[in-house]
Amino acid sequence: MAKLPFVFGPLAGVAPGHEFRNRLELYGAGVHTQTQAGISARQGEGAASIVLSGGYEDDEDFGDVIIYTGRGGRSAESRQQVADQTLTGSNLELARNYTTGLPLRVTRKVEARNGSFYRYDGLYRVAGYWAEPGKSGLRVWRFRLELLPNDGAPSPDAAAAVSAVAEEMAAYGSAPRRASTVLRIVRDTAISRAVKALHDYHCQVCGVQLRGGLPYAEAAHIRPLGAPHHGPDALANVLCLCANHHVLFDLGAFGIAPDFQLLGLPGQLIIKKKHLIGAEFLAYHRAHFYEPQANAGQK
Amino acid sequence: MAKLPFVFGPLAGVAPGHEFRNRLELYGAGVHTQTQAGISARQGEGAASIVLSGGYEDDEDFGDVIIYTGRGGRSAESRQQVADQTLTGSNLELARNYTTGLPLRVTRKVEARNGSFYRYDGLYRVAGYWAEPGKSGLRVWRFRLELLPNDGAPSPDAAAAVSAVAEEMAAYGSAPRRASTVLRIVRDTAISRAVKALHDYHCQVCGVQLRGGLPYAEAAHIRPLGAPHHGPDALANVLCLCANHHVLFDLGAFGIAPDFQLLGLPGQLIIKKKHLIGAEFLAYHRAHFYEPQANAGQK
């Protein structure tokens, strides 16, 4: 079989609901570039696709939310779990989706009267992962997957598609609350990947590299995206920051001078030759976010 | 007029689209507890409601997204801006909604053939704030407001209501991207407010108090909410953390022993007498998040 490119996210021509007769068709369409394995992942990049075929006794499928069980630890003959699963291989790549925000294509095997087929069901995010004893008593790694709004623009089905998000953002004041109190959704873009790679996940303000198995950093836009700022999504307009300095930067607690001296904080921005930062974006941030507060005196 | 309670969020019996003949009716329903001012806020708590009446030349209303101009700096006679606006009073309270995640009720004045009326349009979040020269050349404070999913459960209109969120989460791979790379949505709950107040926004791990004008901290659930963990939203199950230690806690980079010794990090959890932490929740986090990684060796 021809080697297909490894793609994250939506595929042109494959909308959620698209049906495939078998794994080979699924493979050919580029949805899942594995003919047998349930996870399609690339080492060091993340997982692009999973196929739910009911083979793991510990999976739980709620539709919008899937509690997915990691791979490994099963006997090839009996298919029973005989050893602890480890956070390595494709399990580690699934965990990486949590820290990078890369989306995961989900395909379900559907049992019908005249046989089974495969249905592509859209993009999910990895909203968390942990380990626990599986039904066998041995350790399994588990991943909470949440359906993302439909590939592309909101469709007539968007109300259903976003219900996992809507649930999390549902009515303030109602009880009991099931939502987390900080919904931190990380999106992976070419730009965010590039800036994190250039700085090896080290914060350009404090130098820290957050790490919990996998490294974590945030790409912070200097001049914000969207109305009314309309800053570009370009390397020259992003910084690699830890979560704390991202919060503080967005709050205007500090600014950055043209010579990269930090304003409002001691020290100097950590810079790399290959990461050219736009002076006009720093000026925009100073003028709109940092200086008005710095000049405000008592707040 | 009788003093009405000060309420954040949705009001029973007032759905988005509800119309009111005048400000007095709006006041009587508790939607906007000011009869003249455009912002209804309580000092130190945040803003609960705004009325958009077209009085500010710098406002921009895109429907789901509103660029709202702060108050002050205008002459009482000419209604022209004559001085810089400051981040004080109700402007500061609007900024506080950004750090706490408290939602804002938005009501629009609608001009109709037979006169004007007021329409309650639902809950918005304050997604950012900054200052810039207004049309007068003098400084104005501006607030980006984004429509939240409909009060309560997703309705048939949810597709429209969530489009601001959907836009931010739209297709990976499409260009140009308008979305930020980290969507950090903070929700204010009685529990999160309580834990932040008890610790005065200081991180229980490192003691830092993030501050950019306003203090910022995150309420981190120890045993997560939602399926399959089903941890309770209770003070005994939350910690007050900085953004970095929240990320690391969720990644299982550290755990907390029964005696509050940190595991995987040096030191001890900073505790307060009035904040009783459930030993069973710490044990759940250790077993599911910290220990599997700590024991994993090479990852």
At A182 the pLDDT is: 67
Nearest by CB to residue A251, choosing from B188, B189, B212, is B212
Do B158 and A159 lie within an 8 Å CB cutoff? yes
Q: Please tell me which of the candidates A87, A153, A185 has its beta carbon nearest to residue B293.
A: A87
What would the DSSP string read from start to end of B119-132?
EEEEEEEEEEEEEE
* pLDDT over 90 (residue A166): no
Distance from CA of B86 to the nearest CA of A (A): 7
pLDDT band at A141 (very low <50, low <70, confident <90, very high): very high
Tokens standing for residue A194 = 């590039």
The stretch B124-145 carries a mean pLDDT of: 90
Name every chain B residue with its beta carbon within 8 A of the beta carbon of A251: 98-99, 212-214, 216
Interface test with A, best of B100, B172, B284 (most A CBs within 10 A): B172
**pLDDT band at residue B23 under the 50/70/90 scheme:** very high
- Is the model's pLDDT at A156 over the cut of 50? no
Q: What tokens does A267 get?
A: 């020290």
CB neighbourhood size of B108 (10 A): 18
Minimal CA separation from B143 to chain A, in Å: 10
Contact A159 B163 (CB under 8 A): no
Residue B21 clears pLDDT 70, i.e. is over it: yes
pLDDT value for A216? 93
- The pLDDT of B108-118, averaged and rounded, is 92
Q: Which residue has the higher pLDDT, A161 or B234?
A: B234
Lowest mean pLDDT among A52-61, A83-92, A260-269: A52-61
- Which chain B residue lies closest to A11 (C-alpha atoms)? B173
Of residues B166 and B77, the one with the higher pLDDT is: B77
Specify the pLDDT at position A80.
85
Nearest to B228 among A67, A208, A238 (CB): A67
pLDDT attached to residue A185: 65
Q: What number is the average pLDDT over the span B33-58?
A: 88
Q: Do A292 and B87 touch (CB under 8 A)?
A: yes
Task: Check B227 against A174: CB less than 8 A apart.
Answer: no
Q: Do B180 and A65 touch (CB under 8 A)?
A: no
Q: What is the DSSP letter of B236?
A: G
Answer yes or no: do A173 and B9 touch at CB < 8 A.
yes
Among B116, B70, B111, B62, CA closest to B94:
B70
Interface contact flag, B182 A184, Cβ < 8 Å: yes
pLDDT of residue A248: 96
Query: Is residue B75 predicted with pLDDT exceeding 80?
Result: yes
> Which residue in A185, A148, A157 sits closest to A64, CA to CA?
A148
Q: What CA–CA distance (Å, rounded) separates A265 from A242? A: 15
Give the best residue of B141, B201, B251 to mutate against chain A (max A CB count within 10 A): B251
CA-closest candidate to residue A103, choices A48, A52, A23, A174: A48
Lowest mean pLDDT among A221-230, B259-268, B273-282: A221-230
* Minimal-distance CA residue of chain A relative to B169: A149
Going by pLDDT thresholds of 50, 70 and 90, the confidence category of residue B3 is low
pLDDT at B59 (0 to 100): 83
Interface size, chain A vs chain B, as Cβ–Cβ contacts under 8 Å: 308
* Per-residue pLDDT, B162: 34
pLDDT at A85 over 70: yes
Residue A92: pLDDT over 80: yes
CA distance A192 to A64: 27
Burial class of A59 by CB neighbour count within 10 A (0 to 12, 13 to 18, 19+): middle
Half-sphere exposure of B240 (CA within 13 A, CB side): 29
pLDDT mean across residues, chain B: 84
Query: CA nearest B86 in A: which residue?
Result: A296
- When CB atoms are compared, the residue of B98, B155, B184 closest to A184 is B184
A151:B141 CB<8 A: no
Assess whether pLDDT exceeds 50 at residue A174. Answer: no
Instruction: Kindly report, residue by residue over B145-163, the tens digit of the pLDDT.
Output: 999 876 543 333 333 333 3
Of B251 and B177, the one with more pLDDT: B251
CB contacts, 8 Å: B100 with chain A: none
**Dist CA B252 CA B299 (whole Å):** 13
| Pairing state between β B46-52 and B104-112 | parallel
pLDDT band at A101, cuts 50/70/90? confident
Tell me whether 0.95 is exceeded by the ipTM.
Answer: no
pLDDT for position B180? 53
* Selection from B249, B251, B4 nearest residue A100 by Cα: B251
- Predicted pLDDT of residue B4: 53
Nearest C-alpha neighbor of B16 from the set B123, B141, B163: B123
CA B256 – CA B248 distance, rounded (Å): 12
Is the pLDDT at A121 greater than 60? The verdict is yes
| Shortest CA gap B272–chain A (Å) | 21
**For B173, which residue in chain A has the nearest alpha carbon?**
A9
Residues on chain A touching B138 (C-beta within 8 angstroms): none
Is 70 exceeded by the pLDDT of residue B67? yes
DSSP states along B92-120: HHHHHHHHH---EEEEEEEEETTEEEEEE
Domains belonging to chain B, first-starting first, are 19-168 (2.30.280.10), 190-294 (no CATH)
Report, as an integer, the average pLDDT of B283-294. Answer: 91
Split at pLDDT 50, 70, 90, the class of A46 is very high
* Helices within chain B (DSSP H only): 23-28, 89-100, 158-161, 163-168, 190-198, 243-250, 279-285, 291-294
Q: Determine the Cα–Cα distance for residues A74 and B100; give it in Å rounded to an integer.
A: 46
Task: Give the pLDDT of residue B31.
Answer: 95
Rounded to 10 degrees, the C-alpha dihedral A93/A129/A133/A83 comes to 10
Distance CA B105, CA B97 (A): 12
Model confidence at A165, pLDDT cuts 50, 70, 90, reads: very low
Q: In A, which residues are within 8 Å of B238 by CB distance?
A: 181
Report CB contact under 8 Å: B130, A288. Answer: yes
**Partner-chain contact A246 B246, CB within 8 Å:** no
The whole-angstrom distance between residue B231's C-alpha and the CA centroid of its chain comes to 22
With contacts defined as CB-CB under 8 Å, which chain B residues touch A252?
A: 130, 212-213
Q: What is the mean pLDDT of residues B70-92?
A: 89
Q: What is the pLDDT of residue B186?
A: 66
Q: Output the pLDDT for position B174.
A: 31
